[in-house]
């Protein structure tokens, strides 16, 4: 490839135009998918935005034109080449196989298919090779997992990751538009429609997704299980605490990682700097480090606060930030589609 995965593309030149469906087009991720398809000039002959029956018949703007939202069954009848799903696990479980049976390649952003043994779970820069031509459903990883494995992959290849302790500071946009509305109402002093069990303004909730039988949340266990699958190494141990914070624009992660082999900080910086889709922002002299305020609207994963853990052998501390709606969801899905077109 002449162009890196993380860069802007011009795929229309000399390429077949495709029918592309976006299922869940009215949600925050669905709208971002449409925005990124347009930004990256994906080769689209026909865009098919699909949503629930409540939204069918309404319009959305795409490419300077108004496109009509259709029902999911209507989108299926139009036989898209690619369908980007972001409509929740129940919808994906019901409809993704139907689209796949009709010959559509489905890239699904829900958790429905991620841990299925015969379904590839893909971050293009990390493990695109997990996709074969036989795969018709491809899973997009969890937002917090994507940015974590982006930072881990080059270091795992060089030093062998043994154990990761990660604490996340996750944007309310990961919950959806209703969570943003709760925050905005609280800041105005209004009575909000509660999405979270407590106020989110001026607060942090150590509670992302539902609690499971082991007292970890589903979000925390996604980080454990998805990281192993994407890196292709069951020996990698990951333990997480996932926290929702009153931020709009990106997820942040404090990452402590122990390796099989020792490292030099200069080599770590070079490995990360050379990895596609990563930007290092790390200078104590200029107070330079990643922040969600500045990661919002960008497609890269930003890494900073790179320093040796002086309490443990072969152990490193990192601070990792990314826009959870873009690289953490929509951009990653579109990048998968781009790589499939290239192939």
pLDDT at 4: 31
> Based on the domain organization, do 100 and 154 belong to the same domain?
no
Q: Pick from 299, 290, 292, 208: which is nearest to 250 by CA?
A: 292
Do residues 202 and 262 both lie within one domain? yes
Give the pLDDT confidence score for residue 6 in this predicted structure: 33
Is residue 10 in a domain? no
CATH code of 271's domain:
3.30.360.10
Ordered per-residue pLDDT tens for the chain, 343 residues: 222 333 334 444 445 799 999 999 999 999 999 999 999 999 999 999 999 988 999 999 998 999 999 999 999 999 999 999 999 999 999 999 999 999 999 999 999 999 999 999 999 999 999 999 999 999 999 999 999 999 999 999 999 999 999 999 999 999 999 999 999 999 999 999 999 999 999 999 999 999 999 999 999 999 999 999 999 999 999 999 999 999 998 999 999 999 999 999 999 999 999 999 999 999 999 999 999 999 999 999 999 999 999 999 999 999 999 999 999 999 999 999 999 999 8
Buried b (16+ CB within 10 A) or exposed e, 84-106: bbbbeeebbeebbeebbeeebbb
Instruction: Give the domain range for residue 272.
Output: 144-324
Is 11 a domain residue? no
- Domain end, chosen from 59, 89, 112, is at 112
In this structure, the answer to whether residues 149 and 73 fall within a common structural domain is: no
Instruction: Give the pLDDT of residue 15.
Output: 58
- Asked if residue 244 belongs to a domain, the reply is yes
Tell me: do 311 and 207 sit in the same domain: yes
- 149 and 99 part of one domain: no
Taking the C-alpha atoms of residue 199 and residue 197, their distance in angstroms, rounded to an integer, is 7
Query: Which pLDDT belongs to residue 9?
Result: 40
**pLDDT of amino acid 2:** 26
Residue pair 306/317 in contact by the 8 Å Cβ criterion:
yes
Q: Which residues are catalytic?
A: 143, 251
Residue where a domain terminates, one of 62, 93, 112: 112
- 55 and 189 in a single domain? The answer is no
Q: 260 and 318: one domain?
A: yes
- 239 shares a domain with 316: yes
Residues 52 and 28: beta-carbon distance below 8 Å? no
Does residue 182 share a domain with residue 272?
yes
pLDDT computed for residue 53 by the predictor: 86
Per DSSP, the three-state class of 145 is helix
Looking at the fold, whether 104 and 249 belong to one and the same domain comes out as no
Does the residue 243 lie in any domain?
yes
For residue 100, give the CATH number of its domain.
3.40.50.720
Same domain, 161 and 58: no
- Sheet containing 44-50, strands listed edge to edge, beginning at the edge strand earlier in sequence: 44-50, 18-23, 82-85, 105-108, 137-139
Question: 315-322 and 105-108: which strand pairing?
Answer: unpaired
pLDDT in tens, 199-227: 999 999 999 999 999 999 999 999 999 99
The total domain count for the chain is 2
Q: Are residues 106 and 155 in the same domain?
A: no
């Amino acid at each position: 490839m002449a162009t890196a995965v993380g860069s802007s593309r011009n795929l229309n030149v000399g390429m077949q135009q495709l029918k592309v469906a976006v299922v869940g087009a009215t949600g925050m991720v669905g709208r971002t998918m449409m925005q990124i398809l347009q930004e990256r000039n994906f080769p689209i002959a026909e865009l098919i935005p699909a949503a629930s029956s409540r939204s069918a018949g309404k319009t959305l703007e795409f490419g300077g034109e108004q496109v009509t939202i259709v029902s999911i069954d209507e989108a299926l009848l139009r036989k898209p080449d690619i369908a980007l799903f972001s409509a929740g696990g129940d919808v994906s479980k019901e409809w993704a196989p139907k689209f796949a049976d009709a010959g559509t390649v489905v890239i699904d952003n829900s958790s429905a298919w991620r841990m299925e043994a015969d379904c590839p779970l893909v971050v293009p820069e990390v493990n695109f090779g997990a996709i074969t031509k036989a795969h018709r459903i491809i899973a997009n990883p969890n937002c917090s997992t994507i940015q974590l494995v982006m930072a881990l992959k080059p270091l795992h290849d060089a030093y062998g990751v043994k154990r990761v302790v990660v604490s996340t500071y996750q944007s309310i946009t990961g919950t959806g538009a209703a969570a943003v509305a709760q925050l905005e109402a609280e800041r105005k002093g209004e009575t909000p429609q509660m999405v979270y069990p407590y106020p989110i303004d001026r607060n942090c909730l150590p509670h992302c997704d539902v609690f499971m039988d082991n007292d970890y949340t589903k979000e925390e266990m996604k980080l454990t299980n998805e990281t192993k699958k994407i890196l292709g190494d069951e020996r990698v141990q990951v333990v997480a605490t996932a926290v929702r914070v009153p931020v709009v624009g990106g997820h942040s992660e404090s990452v402590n990682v122990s390796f099989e082999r020792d490292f030099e900080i200069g080599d770590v910086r070079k490995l990360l700097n050379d990895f596609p889709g990563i930007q290092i922002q790390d200078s104590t002299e200029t107070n330079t480090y990643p922040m969600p305020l500045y990661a919002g609207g960008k497609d890269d994963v930003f890494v900073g606060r790179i320093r040796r853990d002086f309490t443990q052998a072969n152990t490193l501390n990192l601070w990792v930030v990314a826009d959870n709606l873009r690289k953490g969801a929509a951009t990653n899905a579109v990048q998968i589609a781009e790589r499939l077109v290239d192939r």
